[in-house]
Every structure is written in C-alpha cells, then in structure tokens.
Structure 1
Amino acid sequence: MKIQAMPIASEQSITPDCKALFSGFMKLGLMGFGGVLPLAHRMIVEQQKWLDESQFTNLLGICQLLPGGNIINMSVAIGMQFQGIKGAISSVLGLIFAPTVIVLMIYQVYEHFQYLTVVRHLIQGLAAAAAGLLFATGFKMLRPILKSKLTLLTITLTFIFMLLFKLPLALTLLILLTINFLILGVKKS
C-alpha cells in the first residue's frame, strides 16, 4: 500500500515552474534583511498565490519541526510540491545564491567599519525593524487559526514554555504535540 503525502497546495494554487521558483525565492533572499518569514508570507501567499493562509501556516509548522532554517525547509517543500527535485533545488539555489555573494562582499567592508558608532546604531535599528516584521507576520498568521480553544491553549503554553521556563524549542514542541494529541484523542472518544 502506497502512502500518499498530503499536498501543501490546493487546486486553486498557481503552479510555478522551476524558473519561477528560482526567481521568486531569489527575490525573497535579496529582500530578506534580518529575517525572511514576513516577506516569504507576502510573496508566497499574497503575491504569487502559491499557497493560501492556512497552507502557509501548516507548512511553517512542519518546517519548524525539522532541523535547519524554516525558510530553507519551506523552499524545499514548495519546490518539491510543484516541480519535484528540480523544483526543490531551484528554490533553494534561488534563495541562497545572491545573498551569499552579497554577504561575502559586505563582510569585507563591515570588517573595517564595525567599530564606528553609526554602524552600531544602524545595526540596532535593523534588528528592531526585523522584530517588528516578525510580530506583524505572526499576527497575520494567527487570524486563520484562531478558531478553537485548543489553538489558544497551544499559543499560551508556547509563550509560557519558551519565555518563562526557557525550554528548548524541540522540548516545547514535543510537549505541545503530546498535549494536543491527548486532548484531541479525548474529544474523539
């Protein structure tokens, strides 16, 4: 018996070819200063319409369980979904190629000017902007999933475990998966 994977994209999704995957993720990699998740959401859901809100949120949840960067995992999954191995390779190469070249060049300059006050202030400002982008994306992602008490419980427990108890991500996810599994199992009984 062959096990079928649940598709991450719906029939209404636009199906990108390898060139579109490469260029889409390359633009994402070039624009993603301080974190690409907010921009990934905008590009994948709002602009390209490769996934809808729910699909993006579900895929992000899966990608967070995997080792490695969330957006790299997401690019592989989206590439695989639409164009198989070639799509996964196109997506990842698009995501990392240009930023890698740029970082190598900028590092040479940064190495000489990192001790200047203006450079330190610039980096602090960029960090604050990145945090704001993450907060805004988190808020957007909450809208489609805030439909049950279990979701609210999971969100609350995530904050408690991560911020108050400072549990590692893997342990937090394991505990939350167990709690959700037990609650859903009790509801079905």
Structure 2
Amino acid sequence: MQHDPSATPRRNISKAELFFGFLKIGLLGFGGVAPWARHIIVEERRWLSDREFAEILGIGQVLPGPNTINAAVIIGDRNQGIVGVLLCLLGQMAMPLVIVTLLAVVYDRVAAIPEVGAALIGAAAASAGLVLGTALKMIRNIRPTPLSYAIGAAGFAAIGLLRWPLVPVVLVLVPTAIAATWWERRK
C-alpha cells in the first residue's frame, strides 16, 4: 500500500480493543457490515484512514470469503498476529451467530404472515441504501482518480447492466486495475 499523508498514525491496537471493536461491528452490522465497519474503524476508533480502509476492503473483496471478515484478518494480524486474527474473527462473528440463531427460531414461527415478507423487502431496500451511502462517503474522502471511476464504471456496467458473471469480471478487472494504477503512478 502506498503511504497516505492523511493516514492515521500507526499504533499497536490492543487485544481487548480489537475484540470489542469487532464485537461492536458484528453486533451493529445488520443489513451489511461494511458501513458499520468503516464507521467504527475509521471514524470512531481511528485505527485506519479512509484510504487505508478502502485498500484493505478492496483486498478483502478479491479474496475468497466476506470482505469484512478478510479485513478483520488483516487488521488483527497487523496488530496482534494470529491471536489478533482470532480475536477479531470471534468478536465479529459471536453476536451475529447468537442473533441469527434466535431470529431463525422466531422466523420459523412467523414466516407465513404476509406482513413479515413485506418487512423483509423493506429491510433489503434499507440495506442497499446503507451500502450505497457508505460507498459515496468513501469516494468523497479518498478522492479517486478518473481512472478509478472508469474501472468502477466498467465493473458496474459489466455486472449491474450486462449481468455478466462476477468471477470472470473480477478476474479481468482486478489485474487491469492493478496494471492501470501502476502505469498511472509511474508517470
């Protein structure tokens, strides 16, 4: 990662801070964890700058598995090694596991009620709004280059408009983005 002048100063985050930070992310992460992860990691705890968070989330996006889980692994490893990784993962997954298990029991009893279906559609719309709002906030703070916008637009067009499969699009766009960014910074 390139040095970001607006980056937060590096400090070693304690094991307890990692666990409770990611516990809070997991507890609040309904409708998508990324908006809450960004809020807690960047704004509240100031562990990373927006650029650093975007870079880690980007790495997490191209790796197998959920991007915020991958980010937890990276952040935990950087600060407390394997113990930090385990604490971040446990923190992020503990409360969702408990809550989802309880919700599954309740949903099993009320799934046939039409209002429940309508409420789930509304929750999905709210979740999409959270993701879009977080993306716009990150764009405002990291100020992408025109090349970054072009790559993002290509991804949106390929997946959102043309409905091409995700894996081939990622396999083409990631190396293209890396090469284009390298070429752009070389100038």
| TM norm structure 1 | 0.87
Percent of aligned positions with the same letter in both sequences? 35
Question: Which residue identity does 1:97 align to in structure 2?
Answer: A
Residue matched to 1:70:
67
CA displacement at 1:126 relative to structure 2: 1.2
RMSD value, Cα? 2.3
Question: 2:106 matched to which residue of 1?
Answer: 109
Structure 1 counterpart of 2:143, which letter?
A: L
Are residues 151 and 19 of structure 1, via their aligned partners in 2, closer, same or farther at CA, if it must alter by over 3 Å?
same
The match for 2:116 is 119
Structure 1 residues not aligned, in runs of 5+: none
Partner of 2:139: 142
- Matched with 1:158 is 155
Provide, for residues 19-55 of structure 1, a one-character-per-residue CA deviation record: whole Å limited to 9, x for no partner.
Answer: 1111111111111112111111100000011110000
Q: SS at 2:64's partner residue?
A: coil
CA 1:178–1:75: 2 relative to 1, 3 Å: closer
Question: 1:100-130 CA deviation, whole Å, 9 max, x = no partner?
Answer: 1121122111101011122112212211111
2 CA distance for matches of 1:67 and 1:79? 18
Match among 13, 21, 43 for residue 46 of structure 1: 43
Gaps of 5+ in 2: none
Matched, 1:92 2:89: yes
Alpha-carbon offset, residue 98 of structure 1: 1.6
AA at the equivalent of 2:100? V
Aligned residue identity for 1:76: V
Q: Report how many aligned residue pairs link the two structures.
A: 184
TM-score normalised by L of structure 2: 0.88
Contact 1:146 1:152 survives alignment (8 Å): no
